Amino acid sequence: MTTRTTTRVLVVGGGPGGYVAAIRAAQLGLETTLVEADRLGGACLIRGCIPSKAIIHAAEIYAQICAAQAGGHLGIRVTGDVALDFGGTRAWKDGIIDRLSDGVGALLRRANVKVLHGWAVFQDAKTCRVTLSDGGTIEIQAQDVVLATGSEAVALPGLPFGGDILSSTEALSLAAPPERLAIVGAGYIGLELGLAFAKLGSGVTIVEAADRILPQYDAALTAPVTKAIGRRRIDVHTGARAERFEGGQLRVRQHEGGELAIPADKVLVTVGRRARLDGWGLDAMGVDTERGVVRVDDRCATSMAGVWAIGDLTGEPMLAHRASAQGEMVAELIAGRKRRFDATAIPAVCFTDPEIVTVGAAPGAAGTTTAVFPLSANGRAMTLEGETDGGFVRIVASAQDQRIVGFAAVGRQVSELSGEMCALIEMGAVLEDAAAIIHAHPTQSESLGEAALRALGHALHI
């Protein structure tokens, strides 16, 4: 039997965009219902950002202990055997996910959001039928609908997911690190997990169709990561395409015509993600799409009045923090406030070792000037790494008025600099503003001020 109900706002998808939209709508006094087929938190919390960072952190600690056992690390020596209990690592990782997902549920309850666990399929733009996890069905009509269905991993024609061919979701749930791991795709997901599994003891080989790793970043930013890959003895084949996996070997065709057969126990495919458009009735909604994503304007409004789309469903950049910002904005628009999505600065972080962070304009943009401050001249960076392997902080400013328009950095823990980078850009700071900030010493944040000083022509520590 199908139950019928109505709601002021219906949010489909409980990820970082959907649950934020639901909470904010409820805070503004709007009756709100959220439908989620999986656990609350979405791909980022359950299958992506959080579990991968947990594994990356555990892998780094294990690698440091192994280095101390092998011959001393930072003056620390470990005697006796070092054992990896990966089951324990997984349990620790899953505990973090559980606490965060439960926390999202608590936030939704506190905001009086009605949460339905089930799969929603739309009959028209404002009506959907939810097949509940307990087997029942409920039909919901809403005045406003927020679509936040997220994205999914892209498979390759010759490498469909299943068995020993993994997406990042399965890779983060392995019972043990594979002895031999082949990774297809040298973007941020492939390199983050490749470095982590190499630290955990896997023999890692990476295949990338482009002519270099991390092709979305410039060569200066990727050079320190390339050095780290070499230290971990990870084999990298660029200019090559993976075609199939058979007989325990990944078959690869190189662009110049040669072929490779890479032995592997598991193959991790990380060639990108796409908006999740299928399976929930998009065709019945009359909502326009283009180039594989839902088309929206600068308010995240779709072509159908009262239907909004946020997050990965709307395309790049597919980042959790972008989805959350859009979700908050849409809730306020539904409540009658005037907003538009005009983010000057959306940071992107690659959690490799070392990390890469970028925000705003890249060097070489018309009418800009660029300055670089090396982390080898920063005391805190040296205490974290000893050798910084060419890490740096880079600032980009308008040549006309010195307004800061972009930052980038590569180095250990530089992701933590992204907050100040975004604040300076969003607040319209100029180089003198950044140079005048008194940063705590010793911290890597001092490098932001030093980069600004260098752009002004009077660097102090280089």
Helix (H, G, I), strand (E, B) or coil at 13: coil
CB atoms under 10 Å from CB of 402, counted, come to: 17
Exposed e or buried b per residue across 5-23, where buried means at least 16 C-beta atoms within 10 angstroms of its C-beta: eebbbbbbbbbbbbbbbbb
* Listed residue (315, 357, 306, 313) closest to 334, CA to CA: 306
Catalytic residue of the set 57, 117, 441, 461: 441
Q: Is residue 269 a contact partner of residue 159, using CB atoms and an 8 Å limit?
A: yes
Helix (H, G, I), strand (E, B) or coil at 161: coil
Helix (H, G, I), strand (E, B) or coil at 449: helix
**Catalytic residue at 441?**
yes
Length, in residues, of the chain: 462
Find the helix or strand (DSSP H, E) in which 294 lies: strand 293-294
Helix (H, G, I), strand (E, B) or coil at 282: helix
Q: Is residue 252 a contact partner of residue 243, using CB atoms and an 8 Å limit?
A: yes
Question: What's the angle, vertex CA 293, arms to CA 289 and CA 296, rounded to 5?
Answer: 65
| Tokens matching residue 104 | 């999202």
Instruction: List all residues 6 or more positions away from 61 whose beta carbon is below 8 Å from its beta carbon.
Output: none
Question: For 111-249, where are the alpha helices, taking DSSP H only?
Answer: 168-171, 188-199, 219-231
CA 294 distance to own-chain centroid = 20
| Tokens matching residue 219 | 């060569």
Q: Which residues are catalytic?
A: 441
